[in-house]
Amino acid sequence: MTTTATGLRSLVALDVPNPPRALRFRLAAADTATLNRREFLIWLRNPAFIFFTIVQPVMFVLLFRYVFGGAISVRVPGGYVDFLMPGIVAQSAAFASFATAISLARQLQRGVIDRFRAMPMARSAVLLGRLTADTVRLVVTLLVILGVGYAVGFRFRDGAVPALVMMLLGVALGVTICTISAYAGLTIKDEEAVSSFGLVWLFPLTFVSSAFVTVSSMPGWLQAFAKNQPVTIVIDEMRSLALGGPLALHAWQSAVWLVGICAVFVPLAVRAYRRAT
């Protein structure tokens, strides 16, 4: 070996063509499936995680139904529990994104993501694998919540299709918030900082909304925020779907918010992943 580069300067690098697009796409799908599988294996080994993912929202249902519910007056047909359930579904979906941010920050800290980036793996696979796994987790969580909701008196008032759409909207909200969390996790890079940061933005976003109380019960200055923020808009739409109400009012606004947030945070998260090191 020589460390002086002289005499080797004529070296011409190999010209390496990129793999064909169809192959790249197929491999990206395979990588996403692998990382998805990895997340599920991790969850199965971690019963505490599954337990708390599900128990925490159930606890919220019971707390609000029986502790706070009596003191909150709402004008909906089935009483507070009918008002509450769409809100709890949205709030649980948003809180589920905690785990996304923490897990990405942790993997970054441990160097797992560096290793993935040094492998012939699709750049998008880590994020997509995580988000698809999160979607499944959200569906399971929301179904459990709904089951508990039914047990404590909640009923869908507008038929099966709107009920299904409401659930899908809840999942869509959760996944959207997950993209913000993914970006936060990849940017903050520190497990503990990420979880405190999650508290700072997720609590106001879900509690200063129409999730648990009517916005009109809040002081005026707070209403301005509560009325116009995306979580309220999505919850109002979910409530209309669950209980029967004017659907068109918040439908397009919800769609614009959710698509808009994803359009901003998916590229940001992908960029943060590329640069993270």
3 binds other proteins (CB under 8 A): yes
* 36 or 209: CB nearest other proteins: 36
192 binds other proteins (CB under 8 A): no
Interacting residues with other proteins between 73 and 132 (CB under 8 A)? 110-112, 114-121
Burial 28-44 (b: 16+ CB within 10 A, else e): beebbeebbeebeeebe
Q: What single DSSP character describes residue 80? A: H
Q: Which of these ranges, 1-9, 130-138, 152-160, 169-177, lies near other proteins under the rule CB under 8 A?
A: 1-9
Structure tokens at 86: 């769409």
Q: Which of these ranges, 26-34, 63-71, 173-181, 231-239, lies near other proteins under the rule CB under 8 A?
A: 26-34
Count of residues near other proteins by CB under 8 A: 39
| Per-residue contact flags (x/-) with other proteins for residues 39 to 68, judged by CB under 8 A | --xx--xx----------------------
How many CA atoms within 13 Å lie on the side-chain side of 109?
14
State the minimum distance, in angstroms, from the CB of residue 130 to other proteins.
13
State the minimum distance, in angstroms, from the CB of residue 3 to other proteins.
4
Give whole-number Cα distances, 255 to 14, 78, 191, 237, in Å: 48, 27, 31, 10
191 binds other proteins (CB under 8 A): no
* 35 or 93: CB nearest other proteins: 35
State the minimum distance, in angstroms, from the CB of residue 52 to other proteins.
15
Q: Which of these ranges, 2-10, 156-164, 184-192, 214-222, lies near other proteins under the rule CB under 8 A?
A: 2-10
- What is the Cα–Cα distance from 62 to 151, expressed in whole angstroms? 10
Q: Is 120 helix (H, G, I), strand (E, B) or coil?
A: coil
34 binds other proteins (CB under 8 A): yes
What does the binding site for other proteins look like in residue numbers (CB under 8 A)? 1-5, 8-9, 11, 13-16, 18-19, 23, 26-27, 30-31, 34-35, 37-38, 41-42, 45-46, 110-112, 114-121, 277
